[in-house]
Amino acid sequence: MKIATWNVNSVKARLPNVLAWLKDATPDVVLLQETKTLDDAFPRVEFEDIGYNLALHGQKTYNGVAILSKHPIDDVSRGLPGDPEDQEARYVEAFTGGMRVASVYVPNGQEIGSDKFAYKLKFLGRLARHTEALLRQEEPMVIGGDYNVAPFDIDVYDPAAWEGQVLCHPDERAALRRLLHLGLTDAYRAKHPTAHRWSWWDYRAGAWPKDHGLRIDHLLLSPQAADRLKGADIDRAPRGAEKASDHTPVWCEIAL
């Protein structure tokens, strides 16, 4: 099972890029974030034509997450438990191909001390509580997505410049670690313990040509998935394409 996560920054604007990558990389399951479209307007047929089933949780203009799978998709649930007031489409979960999978788009947080940063920390706390419940099922599981947190300085091109900034702040790193400490494995880091590789490069200031990136997109595995982890990598090629997303796909291979 090859499982990928990709923040596409609008599935409609990115459709040719995403279809080209799927044909090339042939993942079994793809977790998308920032689809930025209502489910009715999602380009379903284009994905179904190349063999993917879909589970969508969309929203107009902002956010939006999706699961694509070459296997039948069952048991879909939309929205992260823990806050009935939360209307943002940032979490979808399902069972497919013998695994539990979830696509998550953690809030960016915008600015330290802002309401949005508080929402980010609360969201990560809710994700940890929900993950705790999921882990009790003792299934192979992948919770993948744009976590908007670079876990350690090794995940940042210039740690000194980013110290204390959003995506690197100690409070959000601690919140991400509380999630990891439940027993999840960061698939890319497990396979590349010392690599300095990024999954996101800002559109601004020539970050991509200068390789000024951060690793903020992660595939987090339950023990039952981690025990079967065969490989993981970041595919940088899509970031260099015409009309690229500011994120690039991260994938892992699990031998079920």
In whole angstroms, how far apart are CA 15 and each of 5, 21, 165? Answer: 15, 10, 32
Rule CB under 7 A: say whether 12 interacts with DNA.
yes
Verify whether residue 75 is a known catalytic residue.
no
Residue 192 has a CB neighbour count (10 Å cut-off) of 15
Q: How far is the CB of 30 from DNA (least distance, A)?
A: 18
Which entry of 28, 146, 155, 217 is annotated as an active-site residue? 146
Torsion sign across C-alpha atoms 138, 141, 146, 150: positive
Region of 50-58, 177-185, 202-210, 218-226 interacting with DNA (CB under 7 A): 202-210
Q: Which residue type sits at 24?
A: D
**For residues 175 and 121, is the Cβ–Cβ distance under 8 A?**
yes
Region of 23-31, 70-78, 203-211, 233-241 interacting with DNA (CB under 7 A): 203-211
Rule CB under 7 A: say whether 205 interacts with DNA.
yes
Q: How far is the CB of 254 from DNA (least distance, A)?
A: 28
Binding string to DNA for residues 234 to 253, with x set by CB under 7 A, is what? Answer: ---------x----------
**For residues 117 and 205, is the Cβ–Cβ distance under 8 A?**
no
- The phi, psi pair for 117, rounded to 5°, reads -70, -40
When the beta carbons of 46 and 253 are compared against DNA, the nearer one is: 46
Rule CB under 7 A: say whether 204 interacts with DNA.
yes
Verify whether residue 146 is a known catalytic residue.
yes
When the beta carbons of 181 and 204 are compared against DNA, the nearer one is: 204
The pair of structure tokens assigned to 83 is 């806050």
When the beta carbons of 90 and 130 are compared against DNA, the nearer one is: 90
Rule CB under 7 A: say whether 107 interacts with DNA.
yes
Rule CB under 7 A: say whether 16 interacts with DNA.
no
Query: Which of 26, 51, 60, 231 forms a contact with DNA (CB under 7 A)?
Result: 60
Strand spans (E) along 106-226: 141-146, 185-186, 200-201, 213-214, 217-221
The pair of structure tokens assigned to 210 is 């200068």
Rule CB under 7 A: say whether 203 interacts with DNA.
yes
249: closest CA among 207, 210, 200? 200
> Tokens 């902002």 — which residue?
62
Which entry of 52, 91, 105, 119 is annotated as an active-site residue? 105
When the beta carbons of 12 and 196 are compared against DNA, the nearer one is: 12
As a whole number of angstroms, the distance between CA 90 and CA 105 comes to 5
Q: How far is the CB of 244 from DNA (least distance, A)?
A: 8
- Coil, helix or strand for 121? helix
- Could you list the residues that contact DNA (CB under 7 A)? 9-10, 12-14, 36-37, 60-62, 107-108, 110, 116, 203-206, 243
The catalytic residues are: 105, 146
